[in-house]
Chain A
Amino acid sequence: MREMSRIVRTVSHIMFPFVIMFGFYLVVHGHLTPGGGFQGGAIIASGLALLIVAYSRSRVKKVVKKEVLTTIESSGLLMFIGLAFLGIGATFFYNFLANSGIIFGDSVAYGINPGNLNTAGTLPLMSIAVGLEVLAGLSIIILMLAIGSLAGEGSR
């Protein structure tokens, strides 16, 4: 597959930052709104798919490196399990940051409210960890599929 037309490339150029931004929004607001780490990560990875479709696979392949993505994936998972280990003062996965006043440490207001991002303790952090893992993991899958079909094209 070659590069698509100028129109498609321009539109995807404009759209790409918004896709990424929406993805990160979903990841960070995982504890307040529908969505969360997995969904946000999947949207970010779909941004990569957009790039691969609009520009050629070979161009994207040069920019996005598999080794980097593997490291991101691994560190997202390690962050998740590390947060679980940090709670071991009480029990595994204990939410030690909730209501503690440190990061994400505000207590939740009672009743209907617009939602405070700075609440819920380890939950948003875990959401971010899952988001990193999913964005890297799905990106690797998309990239591998693209490279695989590129190999098939060469032989044709």
Chain B
Amino acid sequence: MIFEHAPALIIAFPLLTSFAVPILNRFGEKFRNFFVLLSLLFSLFFVLTLAPQVYSHGVIVYTFGSTSPGITLPSGYSMPIRITFTIDGMSIFMAFIASIVSISGLIYSWGFLKKERVGMDKFYSLLLLMSVGMYGMIFTGDLFNMFVFLEILSIASCALIAFWVHKGETSEAAFKYMVVSSIAALFMLIAVGIFYGQYNALNIAAIASMINYNLLDKIALSLLIVGLAMKAGAVPMHMWVPDAYGQAPAPITMMLVAASQASLYALFRTCFTLFGLRLDVAMVGWIIIILGILSMFVGVTMAIPQKDIKKLMAYHSVSQTGYMLLGVGVGLAVMNDPIAFQTYGMKAMEGSIFHIINYALYKGLLFLTAGAIFYKLKTRNLDEMGGIAHNMPLTTLFFIIGALAIAGIPPLNGFASKFLIYESVYRFNPLLSIIAMVVSVLTLASFVKVFHSAFMGPKMKKNVREAPRAMLLGMAIIAILIIIFSLFPAMVVRTIVDPAVIALANQGNYISAVMGGI
């Protein structure tokens, strides 16, 4: 059955098309675009077929190049040595985000980059590679492989940030992104080396079954947490975010948001699956909570004085990442207390993991609307805008949906996830919850600023029309998903978020699925 190979095919189709794009390009633009879209649709299809399998069977292990992940020596020593994909509820949850974001980003870029003459084959090649990097990072069951996919993701994103390379600032932003992601990846590599030196294993489950939290493991843990937090854009290591998000083409910014979420996923995977209860959970949980609180507050306060629309939104990305770190940090901090974990720890994690998908959707939509404005007005400066609502009504509608969702106004989806975070974090520590609410108010305030200065006001003198249809379609896909998520949050939480939380909290299942299969 082809569906047995779904985990491999999810990354194989975009990879194949990515390599074939330079050749497909010779047969014309439409032909190439069709194949690029087709490969991403294939990936989405296989993600959708994989999801029921994961939800019914638990963890799925797919081995590359062989039928079993391990090897058993004549002495009886057995160890998973092969490259595996280990897919549980959390991975499949992140894969939904990656596929939605890739597809709508691709459709949007048909319109957004229509006027570009050169380099479009490389653009689509790299876009697919970025998608592959995301899928790989969230599916892999192997620490070294996670590093490799992180590098694929970083290099592809770096090249795409510098897409308009003739503008000096994009090259600078890409250079900063490259330095930041190489440093983060190198520190991750050192951590992987520490594990490999101690346990002779690279498989996450194999290391998790042997780990004993000694001095070296603590060093590796710190390197992983700080490196991945930098890649996810946590304060005070967030300064690359406004640079990179601000300068990249809008569809790429949207994919960078999802790429940061993949780093966040790796961080959660490290804390929950690799170490689990062997951690000093309260201490590590509080480290993550403090990073989250700092990100929330500094991100939103820096967003208020910004004049560049994409930089402003980028600072909001930092701030929203804080919510996810906060919720998951609370979940981690109470993990060794079963009663507290059942009553509010689980809810906090549910809230912040639900927030990941909400955030990827509405932040993606906001960046796309900013891109549409940039496409029509050729400026990102809010001072030079005004009255866009007269000219671009649909874009305005999408912006309003996104802005209300990010500010946590009911009944939109941002409210649903923030509600879970507020209520459960309040049980843990009321102060944290209050900070989260204040940040939400400030978020609303700064989006009121954007709305007022860009969309309100007298009609512009320039004759500006609505964005091209492909861009509107890309935005509409996401807007419709936001509305669905807003109206049926309970259904979404039950079907995709709860399995993700359970998968993170239940380290034993993950280990036994891999180690039992040898």
A residues adjacent to B (C-beta < 8 A): 70-71, 73-75, 77-78, 80-82, 84-85, 87-88, 90-95
Interchain CB contact under 8 A, B20 and A78: yes
Q: From residue B503, how far is it (CB to closest CB) to chain A in Å?
A: 23
Judging by beta carbons under 8 Å apart, are A91 and B62 in contact? yes
- Which residues of B from 19 to 33 have beta carbons under 8 Å from A? 19-23
Q: Which residues of A sit under 8 angstroms from B9, Cβ to Cβ? A: 92
Q: Are B22 and A73 in contact (CB under 8 A)?
A: yes
Chain B, residue nearest A87 (CB): B65
| Docked-complex contact B12 and A78, CB < 8 angstroms | no
Task: Tell whether, in the assembled complex, residue B66 and residue A94 are in contact, meaning their CB atoms are under 8 Å apart.
Answer: yes
With contacts A70-B22, A71-B22, A73-B22 taken as known, whether A90 is within 8 angstroms of B67 at the C-beta atoms is: yes
| Count of B interface residues, CB-CB < 8 Å | 17
Cβ of B5 < 8 Å from any Cβ of A? yes
A53 to chain B, nearest CB (A): 27
| B15 sits at the interface (CB 8 A) | yes
**Least Cβ distance of A84 to chain B in Å?**
7
Residue of A nearest to B11 (CB): A92
Is B23 in contact with A74, judged by CB distance below 8 angstroms? yes
- Which residues of A are found within 8 Å of B22, using beta-carbon distances? 70-71, 73-74
Closest-CB distance, A121 to chain B (whole angstroms): 10
Q: Which of B425-449 contact A (CB under 8 A)?
A: none
**CB-CB < 8 A to A94: which residues of B?**
65-66
Q: Is B157 part of the binding interface, using a Cβ–Cβ cutoff of 8 Å?
A: no
| A92 with B5: CB separation less than 8 A | yes
Min CB–CB distance A31 → chain B (angstroms): 14
Q: Which residues of A contact B64 (CB under 8 A)?
A: 91-93
Measured between beta carbons, the chain B residues less than 8 angstroms from A85 are 12, 16
Candidate in A70, A74, A85 with the most chain B CB atoms within 10 angstroms: A74
The answer on a CB contact under 8 Å between A95 and B65 is yes
Docked pose: A87 CA to B64 CA in angstroms = 10
Q: Tell me if B385 is interfacial: C-beta within 8 Å of chain A.
A: no
Identity of the chain B residue whose Cβ is nearest the Cβ of A89 in the assembled complex:
B5
Q: Are A91 and B67 in contact (CB under 8 A)?
A: yes
Q: A85-B12, A88-B5 are in contact. Are A78 and B65 (CB under 8 A)?
A: no
Chain B: which residue is nearest A73 at the CB level? Answer: B22
Of A73, A90, A91, A94, the most chain B CB neighbours within 10 A belong to A91
CB neighbours (8 Å) of B66 from chain A are 90-91, 94
A93 contacts which chain B residues (CB < 8 A)?
Answer: 8, 64-65
- Bound-complex Cα distance A78 to B16 (A): 7
Instruction: Check if B170 is an interface residue, CB within 8 A of chain A.
Output: no
Q: Which residues of A contact B19 (CB under 8 A)?
A: 74, 77-78, 80-81
A38 to chain B, nearest CB (A): 14
Residue in chain A with minimal CB distance to B22: A74
| CA gap between A95 and B67 in the complex, in Å | 11
- B8 contacts A92, CB within 8 Å? yes
Is B486 located at the chain interface by the 8 A CB criterion?
no
Distance between A120 CB and nearest chain B CB, rounded to angstroms: 13
Q: Is B171 in the interface zone, CB < 8 Å from A?
A: no
Q: What's the Cα separation between A95 and B82 when bound, in Å?
A: 13
B395 interfacial contact with A, CB 8 Å: no
Nearest CB to that of A82 among chain B residues? Answer: B16
Q: Are B12 and A92 in contact (CB under 8 A)?
A: yes
The residue in chain A whose Cβ has the minimal distance to the Cβ of B125 is: A74
Residue B181 interfacial (CB < 8 Å): no
